[in-house]
């Protein structure tokens, strides 16, 4: 499936000229290059607090998820139905991809107008220093890219594609179950005419699978795996490997590490859910730090509405004391707004309210 013209335009916006930049091979570097050196990244907070771990089969899951989205903008979901052996296979294939020789990965380097393939983080354009990471984005079958990565190894192509397609299928199912609970926490029911799923249908939601790699870093205190940002989506659902690296910004506390829980999925509230909730569920700033002991990977499922569905504050979130704060916006046009305004995009949409 080709990304929409608007989404391509959004990613083409390139004020720092970094989209054509290929990731360098970070695996054998003995010291952090100046181009990758961040000035004293803010340390994480030493706290006993952490995002809630919620059993989504719990009868109180809807209430617990609503509280977590208000307080944290995130939670960890367990008992979502995705078997742990699938995550093990997906992780193994992700390591297989990123452990390829650097020149092999460059065969599928994405261009400035491309969403899919290998490259640096899309948010790189907003930061003066490079990040200590690399990524590979998939939508549907990765067969074409797999044939370029492993041209003489069809069995590896098949294993990679089969695993990634199964991973997308299962992540979609689990994410839709989580979204149903989130919509319910907002007071939206399946029979409500404003129920977003009724507009989205079973197969029309847009989603991408993002594989992320954070190689070992010789000086982790001088580097950053992924700079602080929020996501544009409804939610981003993340499988972490066993190594800690994801951190969330908690107001009044600081950067809080998200400790990996085997089999759990981290659910981050994105900007579109922030808009749908009229600011009640806040999109969470997050970042990824690196270490000098272990190569870390993560698998993220970025989930949002169809390209033609406008997202606005839900009627259940509006009353005389809580007027609508945001104008209706499609995901594609919001991506375009974010490509221009970055972390001020929500304010840009907010300021357009008449």
Top-confidence residue, 10 or 189: 189
What CA–CA distance (Å, rounded) separates 165 from 168? Answer: 5
CB 211 within 8 A of CB 146: no
Q: Which of 20-29, 317-326, 342-351 has the highest mean pLDDT?
A: 317-326
Q: If you average pLDDT over residues 36-65, what whole number do you get?
A: 88
Question: Count of residues for the chain?
Answer: 354
Q: Quick check: is 122 catalytic?
A: no
Q: Which CATH class is domain 5-26+47-351?
A: mainly beta
- Residues 257-305 have pLDDT tens digits of 999 999 999 999 999 999 999 999 999 999 999 999 999 999 999 999 9
Q: Which residue of the set 110, 125, 280, 296 is catalytic?
A: 296
Write out pLDDT tens, residues 203-243.
477 999 999 999 999 999 999 999 999 999 999 999 998 88
Task: Please name which of 277, 270, 288 lies closest in space to residue 335, comparing C-alpha atoms.
Answer: 270
At residue 154, the pLDDT reads 97
The Cα 139–Cα 97 span in angstroms is 16
Tracing tokens 């961040």 back to the chain, one arrives at 38
Domain boundaries, the chain: 5-26+47-351
| pLDDT(80) > 70 | yes
Who wins on pLDDT, 107 or 15? 107
**Span 71-82, mean pLDDT?**
98
DSSP track, 299-316: EEEEEE--TTPPB---GG
For 242, residues 6+ apart whose C-beta sits below 8 A from its C-beta are: 260, 262
C-beta of residue 260 within 8 angstroms of C-beta of residue 240:
yes
Q: Is 70's pLDDT higher than 90?
A: yes
Element (H, E) at 351: helix 345-351
**Looking at per-residue confidence, does 112 or 171 come out higher?**
171
Whether the predicted pLDDT of 112 surpasses 80: no
- CA 300, 305, 307, 311 torsion-angle sign: negative
The pLDDT value given to residue 191: 58
Q: How do residues 144-158 score in pLDDT, each as one tens digit? A: 999 999 999 999 999
Tell which residue, 296, 292, 297, 294, has the closest CA to residue 30.
292
Q: Are 322 and 265 in contact (CB under 8 A)?
A: no
Q: What are phi and psi of 236, to 5 degrees?
A: -120, 125
The torsion defined by the Cα of 240, 244, 247 and 252, in degrees rounded to 10, comes to 130
3-state secondary structure of 94: helix
Please provide the average confidence, as pLDDT, over all residues in the chain. 89
pLDDT band (50, 70, 90) for residue 13: very low
| pTM over 0.85, yes/no | yes
């Amino acid at each position: 499936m080709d990304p929409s013209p608007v989404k391509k335009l959004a990613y083409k916006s390139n004020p720092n000229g970094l989209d054509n930049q290929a990731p360098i091979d970070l695996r054998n570097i003995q010291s952090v290059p100046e181009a990758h050196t961040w000035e004293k990244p803010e340390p994480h907070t030493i706290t006993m607090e952490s995002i809630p771990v919620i059993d989504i089969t719990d009868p109180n899951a809807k209430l617990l998820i609503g509280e977590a989205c208000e307080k944290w903008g995130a939670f960890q979901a367990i008992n979502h139905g995705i078997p742990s052996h699938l995550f093990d296979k997906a992780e193994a294939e992700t390591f297989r991809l990123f452990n390829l020789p650097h020149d092999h990965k460059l065969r599928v380097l994405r261009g400035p107008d491309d969403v899919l393939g290998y490259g640096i983080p899309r948010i790189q354009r907003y930061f003066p220093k490079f990040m200590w990471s690399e990524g590979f984005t998939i939508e549907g079958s990765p067969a074409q890219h797999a044939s370029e990565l492993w041209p003489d190894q069809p069995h590896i192509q098949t294993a990679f594609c089969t695993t990634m397609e199964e991973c997308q299928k299962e992540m979609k199912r689990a994410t839709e179950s989580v979204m149903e609970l989130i919509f319910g926490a907002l007071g939206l029911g399946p029979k409500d005419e404003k129920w977003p799923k009724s507009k989205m249908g079973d197969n029309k939601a847009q989603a991408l699978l993002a594989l992320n790699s954070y190689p070992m870093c010789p000086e982790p205190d001088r580097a950053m795996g992924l700079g602080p940002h929020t996501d544009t989506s409804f939610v981003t659902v993340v499988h972490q490997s066993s190594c800690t690296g994801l951190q969330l910004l908690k107001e009044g506390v600081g950067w809080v590490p998200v400790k990996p829980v085997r089999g759990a999925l981290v659910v981050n509230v994105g900007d579109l859910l922030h808009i749908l909730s009229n600011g009640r569920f806040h999109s969470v700033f997050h970042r990824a730090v690196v270490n000098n002991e272990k190569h870390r990977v993560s698998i993220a499922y970025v989930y949002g509405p169809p390209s033609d569905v406008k997202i606005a504050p839900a009627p259940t979130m509006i009353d005389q004391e809580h007027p609508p704060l945001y104008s209706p916006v499609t995901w594609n046009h919001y991506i375009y707004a974010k490509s221009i305004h970055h972390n001020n995009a929500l304010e840009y949409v907010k300021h357009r309210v008449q």
